[in-house]
Structure 1
Amino acid sequence: MSAASILRRNLHLLSLFSLLRLTISASDELQTLLSIKTSLQSPNADVFNSWKPTNPPCKFAGITCNSDGSVNSIDLSNQKHTGTVPFDSICQLPSLETLALGKNSFSGPISEDLKNCVRLKYLDIGNNFFSGSVPDLSSLSRLEYLYLNNSGFSGKFPWNSFSNMTGLIVLSLGDNNQFDRALFPDVVVGLTKLNWLYLANCSIEGKIPPEIGNLTELVNLELSDNYISGKIPPEISKLSKLWQLELYNNGLTGKFPVGFGNLTSLEKFDASRNYLEGDLSELRTLNKLVSLHLYKNEFFGEVPVAFGDFEKLVDLSLYANKLTGPLPERLGSVSDFNFIDASENFLTGRIPPEMCNQGKMMELMLLQNKLSGEIPATYANCTSLTRFRLSNNSLSGEVPSGIWGLPKVDLIDIALNQFEGQITSDIGNAKSLTEIFVNNNHLSGELPPEISKATGLIAIDLSDNQFSGNIPATIGELRLLNRLHLHNNMFSGPIPDTIGNCVAFNDINMAHNSLSGDIPVSIGSLLVLNSLNLSENALSGQIPVTLSSLRLSLLDLSDNQLTGPIPQSLSYEAYNGSFAGNNGLCSQNIKSFRRCSPDSGGSKELRLVILCVALGAIVLLLSVLCMMLFLKKSQKDEERSLKEDSWDVKSFHVLSFTEDEILDSIKQENLIGKGGSGNVYRVVLSNGDELAVKHIWNSDSGGRKKSRSTAPMLKSCSGKSREFDAEVQTLSSIRHVNVVKLYCSITSEDSSLLVYEYLPNGSLWDWLHTCRKMGLDWETRYKIAVGAAKGLEYLHHSCERLVIHRDVKSSNILLDEFLKPRIADFGLAKIVQANTSKDSTHVIAGTHGYIAPEYGYTYKVNEKSDVYSFGVVLMELVTGKRPIEPEYGENRDIVNWASNNLKSKESVLSMVDSTIQEAYREEAIKMLRIAILCTARLPALRPTMRSVVQMLEEAEPCRFVGIIVSKDGASEKDEVEDSYKG
């Protein structure tokens, strides 16, 4: 055989062997991918449609192969997958270079097998719910992109793993605040190829090392929300490619270092909430800045004139510093300026006139400065404005008429200035206006009736001006109006009877005017009215008996010309002085007034009240008897119907029980609670495990069995119970240690069951407000607060869609055997859809005492309502008191009570629960301060749950600095309420 023939034969054999090897490899990879599929779960059934044994691996969705036909990339990111990641199988793929699993709901610890994926160049497992610590990754020396951000890890991070990853371009570890505290890792500043470094909110402390200057390729550096202290090192000026620098919320001190102005590529810079000082002159060369946030520092001196020539600057936030001098005259004149907040400084001079030149400015906030001059007329045409706040300055002149009618403005606040002129009829065009504060000026003229066209108004404060004329009757068209302050003006004529149409009224103050005529009877229909002050007017006639139906904390009708009897139900000590200066009044039991004659109406009223009380008692007694009989029958019907239905089980975890075990346990002796959306039962399984089961009926039948003939019709109208759908939708996708675990749902045509983990220690309410209270020390209360806050933080910030719980309260915070908290009862929860407004939901729900005040005047509520309710829970933890107690007074709650006790350090300390040890009382006050921030009246002033968690962690026992009480007795609460926070 010739040499050529032998060569051809060998080449043919080699090709056959290569083909056989590739075939074997493809077969192995196919089996590996199919085993990965079995380990993962997804609510989207179509995700793995192409992952079939009949398809080659390279045709699988999310799989990419190299030129040899071997799998080199898996991308299953952002697919809502759950379960544990089978790294043991994944790392068997010999050519795998890219693994993208981010933005899912994977859970459990990370297997050590991850270290076997040695060819990886790209690894993304961020935005998941893993647990435990990060394993040693030093074997992944080829990595160029590493994303572990917001992944749920805790414990000590293996920073030394990076010593082998010298090729890293992107390192993203942020939003893992459960990492153990660690000094700024020196190994990171040795990764000189880094382009993107995200270390925000991952428990880094100490100083920024000078070696940060070695990372000259950095485009993005984020170190916010850590515990970094010391000065910004001068070496940072070497990062000439830096596009974004985030240093927000640390403990940085000192001035901007010399040379900081060399960062001429910088477009986004945020160093807010630190202790930085000095002037801003180093920033005058950063002419590519788009966003500059330096609020809440100690900066002084003038705002650089050069800022007025920055062509890209659109966001500027400098509030709560010590800045002086004028703002640059040309500020915003050459850019698409969007936002300025330079409030709470000592700025002087005039308002820059051209910030809305491009017609895109949304927020103008310069309150609490020393600005002077007039409002530039240019802002009357700034139709994009949503917030206009200039209060507490020395501004003067007339307000340009167009300001009153800006179509998108939500808030006009020009209080505490020296403005003159009138509110013009343009206000009828302000269709988005919710609040107008013009108090303490020199405004005059009549209130235009066109104000009724601003139908979204919630609060009007015109007090301490020179307004005159009649109060327009059209005021009654403002159905959402909650607060009306007209006191200290010159209004005359009658109070319009249409005021009774404003059913949301909580606070009315018309004192010190020249109003005349009768007090409208319709005021008695304002059932949520809390404060009514009509003093120092010329009102006449009798006090309407209808006022007796109101639960007022303040009533002042003094110094008028009222006559006749004081209604018996208003004649008690709380209203002492409310009727003074009305010589024509009489009373049967207030000694300072003459006694009423028999025909004056007092005796008749008393008899009527007695008769109504007697009839009410009879009706109440009959209602209680009927309810007891109804509940007894309902329970029997419930147990009987469970045995008749067919059931469908949908599991969300691996189950160790059967449907029958659950159904057999739904009986009276296992009942442990009744909620707004169903009964709750304790189930003990045959293996000894315990579960909690909520039973929810699918109609408004109150637990009665629907007949077979009507059930389909009812179901077609409403489907399963709305409470059930809400709770399943929320909990089935949630994996968090501080949120109660849902094992499965069991549904039938008539009712539905939710099977949860059982929490043996009941609710926080039980421990705070029953005999268990003595066993709850401060350290335990603190841990409960932090855990519950983290659960809510997860719902608000870490879910793919925002979850608003809407019924946060201590009875919905359950405790396990170690007293670790779980957020529970999502029957009222609201997931905000991606294609709807994130700002609000139009369903009013909640529990009295925990409900945020905005529920009283608007349906527009958001996650800040949860923050308010959680603030009430914090107050319960600190004070040991219930949200509603008789000692607070009529129509008052724990929030009012706490605010009224912030007068001195002694009164603040007196609020702390007496069962808390003396050594911890100062630390409890730190939590009380957070609670006060959470329960701010305006939602915009409340912190986010992410900020609440951080503040609570900073209040950890032994790290507390007490609440500040100034020399004049004003508490930090006063500063909080008076300051602007967004």
Structure 2
Amino acid sequence: MVMGARATRLLLMLVVFVLAAAVEATLHPVDYLALQAVRRALSDLPGSRFFASWDFTADPCAFAGVSCSGDGRVVTLALGDPRAGAPGLSGPFPDAAVARLSALSSLSLVPGRVTGGLSVAVAALPSLRFLALSGNLLSGDIPAAFSPALRTVDLSKNSFSGWIPPSLLQLRGLRTLVLSHNSLSGEIPRTVSSPLVHLDLRSNRLSGAVPPLPGTLLYLSLAGNRLSGPVGTVLRRLPRLSFLDLGQNWFSGEVPGEVFSFRIGYLQLRKNAFSGELRPAGRLPPGATVDLSHNALSGRVPPELATAGAVYLNGNRFAGEVPQEIAAAAESGRMRVLFLQDNFLTGIGVGGVPASSAVCAHWNCVAPPPAVVTACPAKGGRGRRRPQAQCGGRRW
């Protein structure tokens, strides 16, 4: 009986030893040390408990944000609590440690206060397919080389500066590129060969003309830069667009009529220098938002805009009467917003509108109907009607 009990104890000790060895062997030693370095570099912001599970006496492959391959290599590193509104992390970005995770395919960082930069050693990890470091305090240049496996790159809402590296827009598999809300300058690289579906470069300091872009694009935002020149040739080649925002740049020339035949639900061209008449080649989807405000567009308001749900034409040089189709859409409530103020219109034709709708027609060559006067925003116009001297005999 004594020998049996002793043998049982030895067997149990052996099982414990084997299990402990298995836990320690779960993760490759290089990756184990890399995760320890990540933990030393970063901390939870107040209210965050992301690192609570990072107890290195247990299996690191079970840590929050970590997943491993069957051979014990880290393939996913998602740093921070992904729930909306959750506090992020702080500390220097552990660039050197992450670069040692040679099998990494997905790297993400929730918005927080992580500082530092992004090196080629991380960006060019051979298996990296997903890179998202949005909403932190990262700075410096964007690396000149990236992994050829990348499908998504999101470095938005940081403080990256310098130029957009041409190699980034030539990755054969890149589908989503988001570099918005940084301090990038220079021109958009002239060759964009990646099969992009989503391109967001808004709120930077980019200048120059827009190069030819891939016809695969569904989403394009270049708003809030210093880009200039005509864009008609570029836009005509993007028939799949469903979202287009070029607002607050220095674009000029005519708005290509073909854009209105695309299935665009959001068309934003405000605060540019577009001119000439609007000649839509089709009608936008029902309920679409169209903002052409604060340009130099002239001629008649096209009736093809009647299918839109919100239309902003204020701050242009439109003349003549508002088409009956548009007036009827506003009166019925199908068009929720119709801003026509600061033009040279001679007929508004909009009577009563639902309380849920907003129509403004201040500062035209005719007094707006009383029913739409109160719908104007606080800065809806400089008066109810233009002086006659600005309207008599003038052609736009």
How far, CA to CA, are the matches of 2:289 and 2:372 in structure 1? 26
Distance, in Å, in 2 between the alignment partners of 1:326 and 1:373 is 13
Structure (1 or 2) with the larger CA radius of gyration:
1
Partner of 2:145: 330
2:118 to 303, 316, 327: 303
Summarize the alignment of residues 733-752 of structure 1 with structure 2, pairs less than 5 Å apart: none
Residues in 2 aligned to 1:395 and 1:528: alpha-carbon distance in whole angstroms: 38
Distance change (3 Å), C-alpha of 1:311 and 1:378: farther
Task: Quote the offset at 1:572 in angstroms.
Answer: 7.5
Match of 1:450 in 2: 258
How far did residue 340 of structure 1 move? Answer: 0.4
| 8 Å CA contact retained: 1:416, 1:441 | yes
Q: Which amino acid aligns with 1:315?
A: F
Query: Structure 1 or 2: larger helix share?
Result: 1
| 1:286 aligned residue | 101
**Deviations for 1:554-574, whole angstroms, at most 9, x for unmatched residues?**
2210111015x836xx17855
Query: Structure 2: which 5+ residue stretches go unaligned?
Result: 1-10, 36-47, 82-87, 389-396
Distance 1:520 1:284, change over 3 A: same
CA distance in 2, matches of 1:572, 1:428: 38
**Is the Cα–Cα contact under 8 Å of residues 54 and 64 in structure 2 kept in the other structure?**
no
How far is the alpha carbon of 1:321 from its aligned partner? 1.1
What is aligned with 2:154? 341
Distance 1:511 1:478 in 2: 19
Q: Is the 8 A contact 1:354 1:378 kept in 2?
A: no
Contact 1:347 1:369 in 2 (8 A): yes
| Within-5 A mapping of 1:52-451 | 166=16, 191-194=20-23, 215-218=24-27, 227-229=49-51, 247-248=64-65, 265-273=73-81, 274-279=88-93, 280-332=95-147, 335-379=148-192, 381-382=193-194, 384-400=195-211, 402-403=212-213, 406-451=214-259
Question: Once the 2 structures are TM-superposed, how far is the Cα of residue 164 of structure 1 from its aligned partner?
Answer: 11
**SS across alignment from 2:134:** coil
Is the contact made by 2:261 and 2:280 (CA closer than 8 Å) also made in structure 1? no
1:581 aligns with 2:384: yes
Residue 302 of structure 2 is aligned to residue 491 of structure 1: no
Asked whether the 8 Å contact 1:425–1:451 carries over to 2, the reply is no
Aligned-CA RMSD value = 3.6
Contact 1:428 / 1:452 at 8 angstroms: preserved in 2?
no
- Contact in 2 for aligned 1:428/1:453 (Cα 8 Å): no
Q: Distance in 2 between matches of 1:432 and 1:163?
A: 65
SS in 2 for 1:355: helix
Report the CA distance shift for 1:574/1:231 in structure 2 as closer, same or farther (over 3 A).
same
Q: 2:313 aligned with 1:510, yes or no?
A: yes
SS in 2 for 1:439: coil
Give the 3 Å change call, closer, same or farther, for CA 163–277 of structure 1 in structure 2. Answer: farther
Aligned to 1:253: none
Alignment correspondent of 1:525: 328
**Amino acid paired to 1:336:** A
For 2:164 and 2:276, how far apart are their aligned partners in 1? 33
Aligned length in residues: 346
- 2:75 alignment partner AA: E
Distance 2:13 2:334 in 1: 65
What is the identity, as a one-letter code, of the residue corresponding to 1:525?
A: A
Shift of 1:366: 0.7
More contact order relative to length (CA 8 Å, sep ≥ 6): 2
Aligned-pair distance for 1:481? 5.3
> 1:337, 1:363 → 2: CA distance?
9
Rounded to whole Å, the distance in 2 between the matches of 1:286 and 1:458 is 41
Deviations 1:317-343 (A, max 9, x none): 1111110101111123xx222110011
Deviations 1:339-382 (A, max 9, x none): 10011111111112223444211100011111111111232x32
Q: Which amino acid aligns with 1:514?
A: R
TM-score normalised according to structure 1 size: 0.32
Q: Deviations over 1:494-534 (max 9, x none)?
A: 1012222x1xx222111111111111111133232222111
Alignment partners' CA distance in 1, 2:364 and 2:14: 84
1:558 match: 362
Alignment-mate amino acid for residue 291 of structure 2: H
Per residue, is there more strand in 1 or in 2? Answer: 2
Partner of 1:283, secondary structure, is helix
Is this contact kept in 2: 1:459–1:484, CA < 8 A?
yes
Q: 1:469 to 1:217 in 2, by over 3 A?
A: same
**In 2 relative to 1, CA 365–572 (structure 1 residues): closer, same or farther, beyond 3 Å?**
closer
CA pair 457-327 structure 1, distance change in 2 beyond 3 A: same
Q: Is the CA contact 2:65–2:76 (under 8 Å) kept in the aligned structure 1?
A: no
| Cα-to-partner distance string for 1:463-489 (whole Å, 9 max, x where unaligned) | 111111111232x42234511111111
Which ranges of structure 1 fall in alignment gaps of 5 or more residues? 1-141, 143-161, 169-189, 195-214, 250-262, 586-982
1:439 deviation in Å?
0.6
CA distance in 1, matches of 2:295, 2:156: 28
Amino acid at match of 2:134: Y
CA contact (8 A) 1:277 1:297 kept: no
| Percent identical residues | 23
Amino acid at match of 1:544: G
- Whether contact under 8 Å (2:275, 2:295) holds in the other structure is yes
User: Residue 452 of structure 1: CA displacement?
Assistant: 3.0
Q: Whole-Å Cα distance in 2 between the matches of residues 573 and 512 of structure 1?
A: 19
Query: Compared with structure 1, are the counterparts of its residues 246 and 391 closer, same or farther at alpha carbon in structure 2 (3 Å cutoff)?
Result: farther
Whether the 8 Å contact between 2:239 and 2:259 is mirrored in structure 1 is no
Write the distance in 1 (CA, Å) between the matches of 2:14 and 2:326: 76
Task: Identify the residue that residue 85 of structure 2 maps to in structure 1.
Answer: none
Change beyond 3 A, Cα 1:574–1:377: closer
